[in-house]
Amino acid sequence: MAEASLKKAVYEQLARIGKAVASPPRLELLDLLCQGPRTVEGLAREAGLSVANTSQHLQILHAARLVEARKEGLFVTYRLADQQVCEFYRTLRTLAESRLAEIEAIVRMFNSGRESLEPVEKQALLERVRRAEVIVLDVRPPEEYRAAHIPGAVSIPLKELKAHLSMLPRGREIVAYCRGPYCVLAVEAVKLLCAKGFRAVRMDYGVPEWRAEGWPVTGGEDPR
Amino acid sequence: MAEASLKKAVYEQLARIGKAVASPPRLELLDLLCQGPRTVEGLAREAGLSVANTSQHLQILHAARLVEARKEGLFVTYRLADQQVCEFYRTLRTLAESRLAEIEAIVRMFNSGRESLEPVEKQALLERVRRAEVIVLDVRPPEEYRAAHIPGAVSIPLKELKAHLSMLPRGREIVAYCRGPYCVLAVEAVKLLCAKGFRAVRMDYGVPEWRAEGWPVTGGEDPR
DNA sequence: CGATTATTCAAGTGTTCGATTGATTAATGG
DNA sequence: CCATTAATCAATCGAACACTTGAATAATCG
């Protein structure tokens, strides 16, 4: 009767969100959208999906009200429906990290030991970044930097890093960051910089993590 | 290459959790497990599913490491793998509530106006419950009360309420609670109590909500 | 207006999922 | 050691999903 259908209806609604995050490509799209708004084409390119496929996945995310679409000229720009969606994605990631040992194993395999900082070291690094005591380098694509970045950060997308090394000082320490803990852009950047004789380390925080700590970010006019 | 497979692998892991919460019956099972450990049969009965079906859903939740199974004699008891899982479920629910207008509509349709308290009233009610200034009545099944309940609460399962009305004082105000905002047990209990001349109101907090506020709960020895 | 480009739609196909059914395993108790 | 009970397994079938392909739509610009 009434109770049973109430219950059923509510769980069906919750499952709409669940279904939205039940697919690896959709999670990747969400991850990208946490960096800032993007067109369908941009998302498709970044995630390595076909445009049609990307469009369909975005529609599923839209049906779950996790993202919004806005037509701007010839392009459709998708963005998170709410900052809360990013928080939810991060909660999901945190849960996965602590429950699924596989994730740590995957990351460890990739990092091959070099990258892992002690928690204490990491806190000290964050603090120095926050106080702008080091050169902070944002190696994400320019539109993501434009959408939001850590205050004081310099933007040199990884692709252009090799060509713009002269923009960086040799004496001071460089801290590179990208999208977050699972993004490899900053790892690559540090590898390159160190090879060229710079003093560089990676910070595994991205803008979402930075923001989640309550620290301010720059950019993202977001003119609704 | 390596980067692509790292990314893919991580998103696949996250999707394991997503898939686990992409099905209404699994969400209901999680909801029940947030109240405390339960056998397969108990969960099946409570959720209105077949035992075989319930067992299969529980195995999917287990594969995502959200729940743990322990054989105790002839029964297998399932429980949340971690309190963090309950928090995650609540985060999902909060997101759904704020993003999906449908949920509010469903609840409003069921409550038909009577039940909705003003936020201020609600805070005051919680405070009075916390200070044990009212009779607090737990109308959930006894095993859930045993697993954890609000300090000072009296347990009278809804099914036995009619037969045990004499256990309740007529003068003092009664606050009934059950599993949480979408559970109808307390609504039914209040309906019955008011019809019998008691002064009773419903509190839409359950133990998980209570706990999430940082308030203590009683019970749940949990002898691992 | 016609060409171009970004996006979506529609159809097709192979795969996975969800629930049911009946058989099987595992622990308990007479 | 057989009967009982709880839970799982295995097989099945229809529904839902994921991705591809090619066509359709919609905005822009020469």
> A152-198: per-residue pLDDT in tens?
999 999 999 999 999 998 888 999 999 999 999 999 999 999 999 99
Q: Mean pLDDT in chain B?
A: 90
CATH of B2-84, one of 1.10.10.10, 1.10.30.50, 2.40.430.10, 3.40.50.300: 1.10.10.10
> What is the CATH topology of the domain spanning A109-212?
Oxidized Rhodanese; domain 1 (3.40.250)
Number of alpha carbons in the 13 Å side-chain half-sphere of residue B188: 18
Lookup: tokens for B132: 């044990």
Q: Which of A99-113, B102-116, B199-213 has the lowest mean pLDDT?
A: B102-116
B85 contacts in A (CB within 8 Å)?
95, 99
Strand nucleotide closest to residue A53 (CA to C1'):
D19
**Unique residue bearing structure tokens 């310099």:** A154
Tell me the shortest Cα–Cα distance from A133 to chain B, in angstroms. Answer: 31
Highest mean pLDDT among A23-37, A132-146, A197-211 belongs to A23-37
Whether A1 has a pLDDT exceeding 50, the answer reads no
A93 touches A143 (CB < 8 A): no
Residue B223: which pLDDT band, with cuts at 50, 70 and 90? very low
Q: Which residues touch strand D (CB under 7 A)?
A: A 19, 22-25, 49-50, 52-53, 56-57, 60, 71, 73-74; B 39-41, 51-52, 55-56, 58-59, 69, 74-77
Residue of A nearest to B13 (CA): A103
Active site residue A194: no
Torsion of the alpha carbons at B3, B6, B11 and B16, rounded to the nearest 10: 170
Partner A contacted by B2 (CB < 8 A): yes
Distance CA B56, CA B59 (A): 5
Instruction: Give chain B's radius of gyration (CA, Å).
Output: 19
Domain ranges of chain A: 2-84, 109-212
B46-94: pLDDT as tens digits: 999 999 999 999 999 999 999 999 999 999 999 999 999 999 999 999 9
- Mean pLDDT value across chain A: 90
Q: Categorize the per-residue pLDDT at A223 as very low, low, confident or very high, splitting at 50, 70 and 90.
A: very low
Report the pLDDT value the prediction gives residue B224, as an integer from 0 to 100. 40
Residue A154, strand partner residues: A137
Q: Is the CB of B50 under 7 A from strand C?
A: yes
Q: What is the mean pLDDT of residues A9-27?
A: 97
Collapsed DSSP state (helix, strand, coil) of residue B71: strand
Contacts of B95 in chain A (CB under 8 A): 17, 84-85, 88
Shortest-distance nucleotide from B23 CA to C1': C18
CA dist B11 → A42, A71, A92, A106, B183 (Å): 19, 28, 11, 11, 33
What ipTM does this complex have?
0.91
What average pLDDT score do residues B37-50 get?
97
Q: Over 90: is that where the pLDDT of A218 sits?
A: yes
- Determine contact, residues B82/B95, Cβ cutoff 8 Å: no
Specify which residues A18 forms β-bridges with.
none
Beta strands per DSSP E along A73-193: 75-80, 135-138, 154-155, 174-177
Q: Which two tokens stand for residue A124?
A: 């000290």
Residue A17 has pLDDT above 80, yes or no: yes
Domain B110-212 top-level CATH class: alpha beta
Answer whether residue A8 shows pLDDT above 90.
Answer: no
SS (H, E, C) A158-197: HHHHHHHHHHCCCCCCEEEECCCCCCCHHHHHHHHHHHCC
C-beta separation of A179 from A140 below 8 A: yes
Q: Is the confidence at residue B153, as pLDDT, over 50? A: yes
Q: Provide CB contacts within 8 A for B42, sequence distance 6+.
A: B143
Residues of B in contact with A82 (CB under 8 A): 98-99
Phi, psi of B24 (to 5 degrees): -55, -50
Is A12 touching B (CB cutoff 8 A)? yes
Confidence at residue A224, expressed as pLDDT on a 0 to 100 scale: 41
Specify which residues B137 forms β-bridges with. B154, B176
pLDDT at A109 over 80: no
Q: Which among B9, B95, B106 is the nearest to A106, CB-wise? A: B9
From A86, A178, A183, A194, the catalytic residue: A178
Distance, in angstroms, between B206 CA and closest chain A CA? Answer: 16
